[in-house]
Each structure stands twice: as C-alpha cells, then as structure tokens.
C-alpha cells in the first residue's frame, strides 16, 4: 500500500510512463506501450487510483452548459485574510480555479458565468463582500486557444 510520501517506482512508474506515451488512451493501447496484458494494466491503474497516486481531471467546455462568460480575476488580498478568501472562493460555484500567488496581486481565480451581467453581479455582490479583498482586476477571456488537457485549435505550421 502506498503512503503519502511514497515515490512512484517499478511497476507503478512503468504504467504512469505508458499513460503519458499513450496520452489517456484505452487499456489495450496502454498494454501495448508497457508490454503488459490489459488485465495487468487495469489492475495497476486501479491500484494507483485507490491509493490516490493517480487521479483524473475532466475539463468540459462551459459553453456546453450555457456559461458563455469566462474571466480571470487578479485579487489583492490582505495577507491576514488569504486563507479565508481562498476558502470562500473554493466554495463559489463560479470559480473554476483559484490559487494564492506571490507578489501583488497575491491571488488568481478563473470564473465561469452565464453572461456578462452574471459576472458583474458576482463581482459586485460575492467578491466585493469578501473581507480582506482590497482590489480586483478582471480580464474577460475573449477566446480559449488551449485548455489544460487538449489543444482547441489546429497547430499552424
């Protein structure tokens, strides 16, 4: 059994490297990349998932759910309020991603809202009400070129 401090080695490293080569392909492709049987690949992947070594993140285009407005927020937060603001943002359904950063601003967040009016309301009522938020800079995302998992536009040569 893996513990939080264990490194990935041996069979685990082989299946993880194979996963990178196959790039999230089906088990038969991963089996071919590692030289293992499909059943061995499935067992190894299940072990990695069960022990929280491997997890999956799914990214779905918000437009498919009617959310047409995405924005990046750069927040300047009083240092004594960073944890409270981060926890509050983590609970907001409008926030797709949030992280504390170094420098000024010291927090970044990605928002997903139904439309510009909903973004305005969110900024004015939810973000503006958070104690410790000193300043917010907002940039609307006009077009996504690449998300975390997939290239959205063909590569130009």
pLDDT digits (tens, 9 = 90+) for 29-52: 888 888 888 888 888 888 888 888
More confident residue, 32 or 11: 32
Mean pLDDT of the 50-79 span: 86
* Surface-to-core class of residue 47, CB atoms within 10 Å of its CB (0-12 exposed, 13-18 middle, 19+ buried): middle
In this predicted structure, what is the pLDDT of residue 15?
Answer: 54
Percent of the chain residues past pLDDT 90, beyond the cut:
47
Helix (H), strand (E) at residue 153: none
Evaluate if residue 146 carries a pLDDT over 90: no
Residues 111-120 pLDDT 10s: 999 999 999 9
Read off the pTM: 0.65
Rounded Cα distance between 8 and 25, Å, is: 21
Asked if 51 contacts 2 with a C-beta cutoff of 8 angstroms, the reply is yes
pLDDT-based confidence at 2, cuts 50/70/90? very low
Is the CB of residue 41 less than 8 Å from the CB of residue 31? yes
Contacts of 61 (CB under 8 A, 6+ apart): none
Cβ pair 106, 100 in contact under 8 A: yes
pLDDT at 157: 47
Q: 87-96, 124-133, 136-145: which range is least confident on average? A: 136-145
Q: What radius of gyration, in Å, describes the C-alpha atoms of the chain?
A: 20
């Amino acid at each position: 059994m893996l513990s939080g401090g264990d490194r990935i080695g041996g069979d685990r490293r082989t299946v993880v490297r194979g996963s990178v080569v196959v790039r999230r392909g089906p088990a038969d492709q991963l089996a071919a990349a590692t030289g293992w049987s499909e059943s061995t690949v499935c067992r190894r992947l299940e072990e990695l998932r069960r022990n929280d070594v491997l997890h999956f993140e799914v990214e779905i285009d918000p437009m498919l759910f009617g959310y047409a407005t995405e924005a990046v927020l750069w927040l300047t937060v009083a240092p004594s309020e960073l944890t409270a603001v981060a926890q509050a943002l983590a609970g907001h359904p409008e926030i797709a991603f949030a992280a504390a950063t170094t420098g000024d601003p010291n927090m970044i967040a990605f928002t997903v809202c139904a439309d510009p009016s909903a973004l305005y309301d969110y900024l004015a009522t939810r973000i503006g009400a958070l104690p410790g938020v000193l300043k917010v800079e907002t940039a609307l995302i006009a077009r996504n070129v690449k998300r975390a998992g997939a290239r959205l536009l063909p590569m130009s040569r």
